[in-house]
Structure 1
Amino acid sequence: MGISCCKQVKVNTEGITRLIADGDKSILWIKGEKIGSGSFGTVYRAIDIETANYFAVKCISLKNNKLNSSKLIKLIQKEVDILKVLEHSNIIKYYQTDLDIENHEINIITEYASKGNLQSFVSEFKPLSNKILQKFIKEILNALSYMHNKGVIHRDLKCANILISEDSSIKLSDFGLSKIIESTLITSEIAGSLNWMAPEIFSREFEANENAEDITEIKKYKGYSFPSDIWSLGCTVIEMITGSPPWTDTCKTMKEVLKSIMTQNNFPNIPTCSLDLKDFISKCFIRNPQNRPSADELLNHPFLNENSSSAVTATVL
């Protein structure tokens, strides 16, 4: 059942009538404080009015949006469809989708991760020790392995889209740009955040367009597949060590970042860290996606061995 096939069950909470659009629990909830922003929407903390349990609610307005309502609803439908097929301890859990008739909003209700996102965590506590990096990277890889085996590419992996639960476990979130594909195929569209994007997404045609003022002018590309998430993981690990996105130490503009990504034999700078960790990141940055290790292969990397060194020194940018 999708958000276009409503159950026609009306509920009234705090004077607002909602139509339950999808989900078996029919949670009645009250929205609380803003806790972040996601693809196309704003995220709030909410409580179940019957149990007082916390949830996260992504509120997506159908008014004053850059996209028309029909296209926006299709994008929301895609995100919900992906969330519904993912059941893993390191992926944020989906509960239901509601239509707020009075406020012209669609609300996606998911699991609440009380410790916020990894970007804020790193900003407060960088540089992280190898033990914490081992734990977080292993849990991210467990989620990616599960997703990839389900045919799902995340396409926007970065610290801002990784949450931390009350028990300090990692939860991948924000699947607004994710896509389900066959294992042998690629998806031919540009999506994601530039600093974390893999080189195979674009083609060498960039050189013919190097005077373009904006990356949206770059029209030709190769595409995304599962190895693209692995490149993004390497970028995310750099972010976890330094607190800054890759390429920001050498590039001042988006155009410079794009050109750096497209330059053969060019890689983001790897900060000072243990040899095992440096090797792990280097393997994520193998430029030929066919030679890049899978999530399952990286789970066997020596860095994730319990006996790897327990301290890391990082150059903070």
Structure 2
Amino acid sequence: MNSTPPTSPFTEVHDGVFPSIDRNSKNFVYHQPQKRNAGAAYSHLVSPVEEPATKFNEAFRTEYPIKECGTLSETYLKNDLNMLFANPRFYSVDNLASMFHLCRTVSPLEYLNEFLMGILLAPQMDFLSNPDYTLPSSRPIGQGSYSYVYTISSTTTSTLNNDLSLVLKFAKSQHKSKVILQEALTLAYLQYVSPSTSDSHIIPFYGLTYINKSHFRRLRSNECVPGLILPKCRMNLYNFNSTVSHELSLIGKREIWWKLLKEMLDALKTLKINGIIHGDIKTANILITETPSVNEGHFDNFDFYLADFTSAFHTSQLPTDLNTTVEYCAPELIDNSTDHIPTFKTDLYAVGLCLLSFISQHEPYNELQSLVSHGSSPGTGSSSIQRSQWLINVLLKKDPINLNILRSNLFQDWKLELAVLSKILVERLPLEELLALLEQDYI
């Protein structure tokens, strides 16, 4: 369920100093994030959580002849950016020039040709000029409202099934290209100002390319759409909670919970330092590089990545519209007291709900809704409007812990973790204060 809050002025970036959490903490079992590894098994999923289409065989045809067109991607990108800047949703030319600290004397044309082309395009993996790169699968491994996600293969690699451990997240149609370009600009900016984004637990961005009907048959013959090259991850947190978590012991789950907290706070810290608000953090947008081992241990075979920046924006420019997921909204985003725009505090609140979902193994308020409807699936016997109003009323009670932790044993098993979540979800500590508290009281 999505909502589109009205636009309003932003909260300014906080100038506070971020403390670091001791890697030797007895509660924060820190593991150095793995470096980018093209040979690792990944699987990128995008939100909202939707079941992939079951029949996509007719969407692919690899026998189309592909002409040499080395400059086509640049041409398409230049045209798309011109259209994007003519009616900017999140980013304008002036806004981006300020973000990237470009000289004010640089003309828009020079800016587009010389700078954006260099940081966005991935010439080493240009689908339009190199027929070796394909999307061989008949099914997407993820999809959202604006995009599909497919595994990338190359006929020149020696890996199993020609798998490059990369995926392409591309626009469903040319009409939806703007959203993909905006996400590319956000990820390119984060990569530019913080090159080790993987160490910050933000999804690494390997560049932008374009595909056409020769790569994906469902595109129209005259369409050429942009796609983001991203690492392939095993699953998202939503899948983990529903399919893997029950196999682990309480000790193992608690250790993973603290790892999730540490790595998501790393991601939020990077975003806040660089003025980026994610705007749609939820379990479907937190990716896991590998399936955590069911054997007890240090669980150092995987990392978490914050992904799907389609709703993200920089605090220096007001977006003209914004989509977010109602279940993960902080109360101020839906009440009548504030400007109804995501902030750094609402991003932290959404992370808190993800951590709460990890404990309950249910999406926010889903278990309560099932109990209210006497065990039937959410929404049975009620209209969409009624369900939405029920959810809004529950959110405005401002009691997320008690309304999501409905089994008494969880309060005892997760006493320490719920105390931390109370700081996030009830006391609403800012990120800097939360990090300082964790460093002081939980090490």
| TM superposition score normalised by structure 2 | 0.54
More strand by share: 1
1:295 corresponding residue in structure 2: 431
Write the distance in 1 (CA, Å) between the matches of 2:336 and 2:122. Answer: 48
Out of 161, 170, 174, the residue aligned to residue 59 of structure 1 is: 170
The answer for unaligned runs of 5 or more in structure 1 is 1-11, 64-68, 206-219, 308-317
Q: CA deviation at 1:278?
A: 0.7
> For residue 122 of structure 1, what is the aligned residue in structure 2?
241
C-alpha distance after superposition, 1:52-111 (max 9, x if no partner): 522111121226xxxxx2xx3332221111011123111111122223243325242333
Give the direction of change, closer, same or farther, for the CA distance of 1:267–1:306 in structure 2 (3 Å limit).
closer
| TM-aligned CA deviation for residue 196 of structure 1 | 0.6
Q: Which of the residues 321, 327, 343 maps onto 1:195? A: 327
Partner of residue 244, structure 1: 362
* Correspondence 1:27-176 to 2 at 5 A: 27-28=125-126, 29-33=133-137, 34-51=140-157, 52=162, 53-62=164-173, 69=175, 72-87=176-191, 88-89=197-198, 90-102=201-213, 103=219, 104-127=223-246, 129-166=253-290, 167-176=301-310
Q: In structure 1, how many angstroms separate the alpha carbons of the residues matched to 2:342 and 2:230?
A: 28
Q: Structure 1 residues 120, 202: CA separation in 2 closer, same or farther (over 3 Å shift)?
A: same
Shift of 1:151: 0.8
Aligned length: 268
| Corresponding residue for residue 424 of structure 2 | 284
Secondary structure in 1 matching 2:367: coil
1:299 deviation in Å? 3.6
Which amino acid counterpart does residue 306 of structure 2 have in structure 1? L
Structure number with larger C-alpha Rg: 2
Instruction: Tell me which protein shows more helix as a share of its residues.
Output: 2
Give the aligned residue type for 1:76: I
CA positional deviation for 1:198: 1.0
> Residues 27 and 281 (structure 1 numbering): CA distance in 2 closer, same or farther, change over 3 Å?
same
Task: Please state how far the C-alpha of 1:222 moved relative to its aligned partner.
Answer: 2.7
1:5 is matched with: none
Shift in CA distance, 221/203, structure 1 to aligned 2, threshold 3 Å: farther
How far apart are the structure 1 equivalents of 2:420 and 2:63? 50
- 1:210-232 Cα shifts (integer Å, max 9, x gaps): xxxxxxxxxx9532110001110
- Closer, same or farther in 2 for the Cα pair 1:141/1:50, shift >3 Å? farther
DSSP 3-state at the match of 1:250: helix
Paired residue for 1:275, among 415, 432, 438? 415
Deviation at 1:163, TM superposition (A): 0.9
Is 2:65 the counterpart of 1:15?
yes
| 8 A contact 1:188–1:223 mirrored in 2 | no
Q: Percent identity?
A: 22
Secondary structure at the aligned position of 1:155 is classed as coil
Bigger relative CO (Cα 8 Å, ≥ 6 apart): 2
Distance in 2, Cα, partners of 1:296 & 1:13: 55
Alpha-carbon distance change, 13 to 99 in structure 1, aligned in 2, over 3 angstroms = farther
RMSD: 3.0
2:20 is aligned to none
Q: Given that residues 368 and 404 in structure 2 are in contact (C-alpha distance below 8 angstroms), is that contact kept between their aligned partners in structure 1? A: no
Tell me the distance in 1 between the aligned counterparts of 2:182 and 2:439: 35
Amino acid at match of 2:335: S
Unaligned runs of 5+ in 2: 1-61, 78-119, 127-132, 192-196, 214-218, 247-251, 291-300, 370-377, 379-386
